[in-house]
Amino acid sequence: MTSSTDQNNNSEDLVDLSKMSNEEVGKLYIDGLTIYEDQIEMMDFIRKKSTIVRNSLHDLEIELKKRNIKIKPVEEKTEESNE
């Protein structure tokens, strides 16, 4: 559900393309495409790093078990317990 503030912010982001020149529309498109490609690169980087961390944790867990070291479970805090 979007708040009225979100809706107001979204309407401010809209651009009346009919009042822009062809060059301005083209530049806006290129800028948007560049940002989109940057986002894809960042997500790919994060995915690769997350995979490395997950694999490292798996290897560490195996090594701990080999050494007969118990892993204490970590309890995740819920929102209710934080309040």
- pLDDT tens-digit profile of 48-65? 999 999 999 999 999 999
pLDDT of 11? 57
With bands split at pLDDT 50, 70 and 90, how would you rate the model's confidence at 72? confident
Using an 8 Å Cβ cutoff, are 15 and 28 in contact? yes
**Residue of 3 and 51 predicted with greater confidence:** 51
With bands split at pLDDT 50, 70 and 90, how would you rate the model's confidence at 19? very high
Task: Identify the CA nearest to 58 among candidates 77, 45, 71.
Answer: 71
DSSP 19: G
